[in-house]
Structure 1
Amino acid sequence: MNVEHLIQMANQIGAYFAAEPDRAVARDGVADHLARFWEKRMRQSLYASFDQGTATTLAPLVSEALVEHRERILGKKAA
């Protein structure tokens, strides 16, 4: 799976929700979209890159959503 493409798509989602004046609502929107519309393997690949520190081009809003909503996005309890 091309992680750079996943990052690009995640950033597009982030750009859409960045217009929301309430940052918490924007983070929730990003997390909800990733959880509902991305395949599990896509979410896992994005997190693998994020956790390894190689997802350096992620928009700040997307990074915040990944940190704050990890369990929700991955669909399980974090270890």
Structure 2
Amino acid sequence: MTGQQIDHLVTMANQIALNFGEQRNLNEAARRTAEHLQKFWTPAMRQQLAAYAQAGGDGLSPAVSLLLEQQRSHERSIHS
């Protein structure tokens, strides 16, 4: 994936979180953004965003960062 492609995914995810009210309720925006990404993004897109977050995630909004951390924690608990 090119830098431009990941930048586009980050921008889209951040916009989704903003539209779901990130500034009003961070947890709710993270939950609703996660649901949206699950419904409308391909698994490859979600995996690329998660990998980007694990590599530092520069530019991810607070809600997107939160949802990705929650997903990582959930996956760790399943695999332990």
TM-score past 0.5 threshold? yes
Which residue in 1 is equivalent to 2:21? 18
**Stretches of structure 2 lacking an aligned partner (at least 5 in a row):** none
Contact 1:11 1:59 in 2 (8 A): yes
Seen in structure 2, the aligned counterparts of structure 1 residues 4 and 15 have a Cα distance that, compared at 3 Å, is same
Larger helix percent: 2
Distance of 1:31 and 1:71 partners within structure 2: 14
Answer yes or no: is the 8 Å Cα contact 1:18–1:26 preserved in 2. Answer: yes
Provide TM-score, normalisation by structure 1: 0.77
Secondary structure of 1:11 counterpart: helix
Displacement of 1:39? 0.3
Amino acid at match of 2:7: E
TM-score, with length taken from structure 2: 0.76
Higher RCO (CA-CA < 8 Å; seq separation 6+): 1
Secondary structure of the residue aligned to 1:58 is coil
What are the ranges of 5 or more consecutive residues in structure 1 without an aligned counterpart? none
CA distance in 1 between partners of 2:59 and 2:8 (Å): 11
CA contact (8 A) 2:22 2:30 kept: no
- Aligned-pair identity in percent equals 36
**Would you say the 8 A contact 1:18–1:61 is kept in 2?**
no
Rounded to whole Å, the distance in 2 between the matches of 1:3 and 1:11 is 12
Of 59, 62, 73, the residue aligned with 1:60 is 62
State the Cα distance separating 1:24 from its structure 2 match: 2.5
